[in-house]
Chain A
Amino acid sequence: MAPNSNERPERQIMDAQEIQRSLSRIAHEILERNRGVGRLVLVGIHTRGVILSQRLAENIRRFEGSQPPLAELDINLYRDDLQARENPRVRPTKFPVDVRGKRVVLVDDVLFTGRTIRAALDALSDLGRPRQVQLAILVDRGHRELPIRADYVGKNVPTSLDEEVKVRLTETDQAEDVIIVKLGREVK
């Protein structure tokens, strides 16, 4: 950690309750925009997007009585920076429904450069031609490198490039919050 910083190396920007409220609001917004669950598919991007998509689907089931189908997308085969990634793992894409003609809501934890979403759009179009693709994100931290924006945002968080936003969910991280970590390194 950078000793020359007066800030704490780690600060919380969302707690468990705020995450829950955001997901609940986003679920309502998805229903409002799409007028119900008809032809809707929630697509989680591995790893935390998958968990968030499951929670959104559960919320939608509680509000609406029926749940949209869930799918999982792994975008590692579509990255534009394969050479730069060390020991990348691929997880299975699981798409139990035909994507053609569906309103797809991509779900991920953090929106940053937009490159992950670019890869996800490529991965999705290899599976078929959806009617529409929307994007739901828990934290938008800015610094886009591509013309991509989210349709549903849990929280907008201004960040600097030497910070990292970490979404921690009980299923994967033994914690339930969103934190910003100051990285002790120079930014190119």
Chain B
Amino acid sequence: MTTPDSMALGNDARDMALTDSASNRRNVLDLDDFSAEEIFSVLDDTGAMVEVLGRDIKKVPTLRGRVVVTMFYESSTRTRISFEEAGKVLSADVINMSSSGSSVDKGESLLNTGLTLQAMGVDVVVVRHPHAGAPYLLARHLPKVSVINAGDGLHAHPTQALLDMYTMREKLGSLSGARVVIVGDVLHSRVARSNLWGLTKVGAQVILSGPTTLMPLDLLGGRGELEEDHPFAQVDVDTDLDRAIQGADVVMALRLQSERQHSGFLPSLREYIRRWQVTEERLGKANPGALVMHPGPMNEGVEISTSLAHGDSSVIEAQVTNGVAVRMALLYRLCAGQGNRIGDDP
């Protein structure tokens, strides 16, 4: 089941179906073309991968002979290493391609790089790119390669959203009806955007909070641009965090990039901290046992207090651990079922 309205939140990168069907997925570009059922099946597979990661010898032969290339045109620690570890635990050969020092910012050279990789017989390309839509360009033009979006511009970061949802489901038991408050710079957050797709599909209740200037325009006020049956029509925006956080099961703080302050989105950092920092005091208004999450890297003392980031409610480290398992589940899913039937097995 795909959602036809891909224009929400100002994204115009998608107008095509890049997967044949949910059961035989070739690319992971965003969660908008995932059904709830497929999300749950990825989360179930992730549980099996968590077991592999808990073994003394973390290695299974599943993707032997497959080649995974990570192409990161933007800096990253956890996502890149997480994909690399995921591939290696599954016995794939993982090659990291560095963009530093090269002029790869233009669409054409990205495409040529992709074509080169395809000609070399690469099976999966994991791409992070500062321009929204870059992974879609690769997916459209590389029929023999699976593309995983590891973050494109302000647009999407589907693997992060899946690991967030896995962590929530693991700790809360169920995602349906969970009240998830996402706090901070939602406007510039690809993590928030992919989480919105995923969480609304699985029936969670999402509340966005933060300065009005950092809220997505089409979710504010009268929601003029959204059809009533659009999944995001159920998303609430409440700029008053102290009110939004009441009864929350999950509080997810987003990274506040310092340059936002200089480009007129914030009156001052002090005001932001005072009104929207996730603190122990504010968490007291959430449900008992509420989870504190952060996609990282954190600005401790800005969007989240240091004591909370490392406190008992924080599942931030679990998010990182689960990130490897989610990416294993996705690599497995993309590499399976690609060939012709070569045998019949009970």
Contact = CB atoms under 8 A, between A and B. Distances in A.
Interface of A: 74, 76-94, 110, 112-113, 115-116, 122, 126-127, 161, 165, 188
Interface of B: 23-24, 41, 44-45, 47-52, 55, 57, 59-63, 90, 329, 332-333, 335-346
B48 A126 contact: no
Given A87-B24, A90-B49, A78 B337 contact: no
A122 B59 CA distance: 12
Given A83-B337, A86-B337, A113 B44 contact: no
Contacts of B52: 77, 93
Question: Dominant SS at the B interface?
Answer: loop
Identify the 9 closest CB pairs spanning chains A and B, nearest first: A83-B339, A90-B48, A112-B346, A86-B337, A77-B60, A77-B62, A87-B23, A92-B48, A92-B51
Given A83-B337, A91-B48, A116 B345 contact: yes
Contacts of A88: 332, 336-337
11 contacts: A81-B345, A82-B63, A83-B338, A84-B339, A86-B337, A87-B23, A90-B332, A91-B48, A92-B51, A112-B346, A115-B345
B86 to A, nearest CB: 13
Given A84-B340, A86-B337, A90-B45, A165 B60 contact: no
Given A92-B50, A126-B57, 7 more contacts: A77-B61, A81-B345, A83-B336, A83-B337, A92-B51, A93-B52, A115-B343
A139 to B, nearest CB: 10
A124 B45 CA distance: 19
B337 A89 contact: no
Nearest to A187: B344
Question: Dominant SS at the A interface?
Answer: loop
A165 B346 contact: yes
Contacts of B343: 80-81, 84, 113, 115
Contact of A91 (B44, B337, B340): B44
A81 B59 contact: no
Nearest to A46: B48
B92 to A, nearest CB: 11
Contacts of A126: 55, 57, 59-60
A80 B339 CA distance: 12
Contacts of A80: 343
Contacts of A74: 48
Contacts of A81: 342-343, 345
Contacts of A86: 23-24, 336-337
Contacts of A161: 344
A90 B329 contact: yes
B344 to A, nearest CB: 7
Contacts of B339: 83-84
A113 B59 contact: no
A73 B23 CA distance: 24
Contacts of B62: 76-79, 82
Contacts of A83: 335-340, 342
A81 B41 CA distance: 21
Nearest to A74: B48
A87 B60 contact: no
A155 B50 CA distance: 37
A74 B45 CA distance: 11
